[in-house]
Amino acid sequence: MTAQPDLAVAPLPPLPHWESTPADLPSAIRVVKAALRARIEASGRTVEEVFAVVEQRVRARVEEIAAARGRGETIWPIIEYADIAAGTVSPEALAKLRQRGCLVVRGHFDRQQALDWDRDIVDYVESNRFFETYRGPGDDFFGSVGSKPEIYPIYWSSAQMQARQSDRMARVQAFLNSQWKHESDGVRWFDPDRDSLYPDRIRRRPPGADSNGLGTHLDPGTLDLWMTEAYQRAFRHLFDGTVEEYDPWDAAHRTAGPQYPGSTMCSAFRTFQGWTALSDMDNDQGVLHTVPIPEAMAYLMLRPLLPDVPEDDMCGVTVNQVFPVSERWHPLLLEALSGIPDVRAGDSVWWHCDMIHSVAPVRDQQGWGNVMYIPAAPWCPRNERYSAAVRDAFRTGSSPTDFPAEHYERSWSNRFQADDLNSTGRRGLGLD
């Protein structure tokens, strides 16, 4: 008697995918939604059942955060830089970091060092008559800030490069990268100990400023999150009936695939987004907020498949705009929105790349609100690809290709020079 094949699992239906932006977006959305639903249902579960699992998991986190807030606890985890450097971060602190997916690193840099960097940046832009020649915002994402810049499209100051290539930055980035599962199925998805030096801008918001802030949104992608083959694999557990196995810390299939171009895109894979404070900031002065629940990504990915969402709509997600998170579609998630605690110059702030975030509005801001954006973007095929463009921008003082083509620094002779790179900087740029 031969073995019966009755235990064999029927193959799941394949998913259509688009490796570049589909020409007809509403039609592609209809097609991919139908295919994702069919795939989930082929596993023997309904979309509603799968979504309910995620909703329950997220709801438990939302309630836990509300309870912690009720007890007067700080929602954002805080870890001292000295503990990261000495390898003495407690298991409890690590668990909280993984649970909340965001972190304040206290004393990442000496406070005076950070204040000196802030002053150096002012000297750098003033010596090049930046304020006299500023042409206004180069993109519409931060377009509400008016004629005096709040976001400086400056990438190559000594201060920024010193921070990016510093040992202290490399240690924290390696620590954060190592929270992710970076090897599986015989593939090393990224190198946790090598950063790819992702150049980004500076924010300097002066005392007295009024700012509308930024609404709740997500940065890792838009429709490509559902439509490219790599992301469909990265989020495989959400669509194949094994939703319980979805792990927001698994980097598999996330570090080589394409992204749909857009005015607010990030070509790099970042384990965490981050910034380093260049001024002291109180928690009620228009600061960063997150929904500190890494699993919320599963909710965002599955929510458009429920029947109350129009067939050609992904809960408002489309290309060339940030991924919106709204009261209309995601009220449960927004209940957990939590701001950073007070930070001091030299502290750094980090949040998981899939994490919902916003910047609160402020009127008549007290004190400065100055940060330099430096993420953790470990070396991987996607970041290696982008590093060619970064090297070119570095050599010529240009704006990196992920950002508006403003190029203020091309003629600024006192920008950071190749001779000033250390080994971390050279490795980060792919020069060694």
Provide, rounded to whole angstroms, the least separation between the CB of residue 273 and Fe ion: 7
d(CA 267, CA 198): 9
Query: Binding segment for Fe ion among 101-109, 211-219, 361-369, 398-406 (CB under 5 A)?
Result: 211-219
Nearer to Fe ion, 165 or 290 (CB): 290
Nearer to Fe ion, 124 or 351 (CB): 351
d(CA 318, CA 272): 23
Nearer to Fe ion, 298 or 353 (CB): 353
Query: Binding segment for Fe ion among 1-9, 33-41, 120-128, 213-221 (CB under 5 A)?
Result: 213-221
CB neighbour class for 400 (10 Å; exposed up to 12, middle 13-18, buried from 19): buried
Residue nearest Fe ion (C-beta atom): 219
Residue showing tokens 């609404």:
215
Q: What is the DSSP letter of 296?
A: H
H-helix segments, 72-183? 81-86, 91-100, 111-127, 130-133, 158-164, 167-177
Query: Binding segment for Fe ion among 109-117, 178-186, 219-227, 390-398 (CB under 5 A)?
Result: 219-227
Nearer to Fe ion, 173 or 358 (CB): 358
Query: Binding segment for Fe ion among 38-46, 162-170, 216-224, 311-319 (CB under 5 A)?
Result: 216-224
Nearer to Fe ion, 18 or 323 (CB): 323
Residues 272-331 that bind Fe ion (CB under 5 A): none
Query: Binding segment for Fe ion among 68-76, 212-220, 341-349, 380-388 (CB under 5 A)?
Result: 212-220
* Site string (17-46) toward Fe ion, x via CB under 5 A: ------------------------------
The answer to whether residues 105 and 172 touch, using CB atoms and an 8 Å cutoff, is yes
Dump the DSSP string for 403-431: S-S--GGGG-TTS--GGG--HHHHHHTT-
Partnered with residue 343 across adjacent β-strands are 281
Provide, rounded to whole angstroms, the least separation between the CB of residue 357 and Fe ion: 6
The answer to whether residues 371 and 350 touch, using CB atoms and an 8 Å cutoff, is no
Query: Binding segment for Fe ion among 25-33, 80-88, 214-222, 341-349 (CB under 5 A)?
Result: 214-222
CB neighbour class for 90 (10 Å; exposed up to 12, middle 13-18, buried from 19): exposed
Provide, rounded to whole angstroms, the least separation between the CB of residue 257 and Fe ion: 20
d(CA 180, CA 171): 15
- 399: amino acid identity, one letter: S
Provide, rounded to whole angstroms, the least separation between the CB of residue 218 and Fe ion: 7
Nearer to Fe ion, 219 or 224 (CB): 219
Dump the DSSP string for 371-406: EEE--B-EE-HHHHHHHHHHHHHHHHTPPPTTS-S-
Tokens for 381?
């095929």
Report the greatest alpha carbon distance in the chain. 87
Partnered with residue 372 across adjacent β-strands are 202, 276
Provide, rounded to whole angstroms, the least separation between the CB of residue 43 and Fe ion: 33
Nearer to Fe ion, 17 or 270 (CB): 270
219 binds Fe ion (CB under 5 A): yes
Nearer to Fe ion, 275 or 379 (CB): 275
Looking at 284-388, which runs of residues are DSSP E strands? Answer: 288-290, 323-324, 338-339, 348-352, 357-359, 369-373, 378-379
d(CA 317, CA 312): 11
Nearer to Fe ion, 134 or 142 (CB): 142
Provide, rounded to whole angstroms, the least separation between the CB of residue 41 and Fe ion: 34
Tokens for 424?
């971390």
Query: Binding segment for Fe ion among 106-114, 118-126, 183-191, 217-225 (CB under 5 A)?
Result: 217-225
Nearer to Fe ion, 219 or 347 (CB): 219
Binding site for Fe ion (CB under 5 A): 219
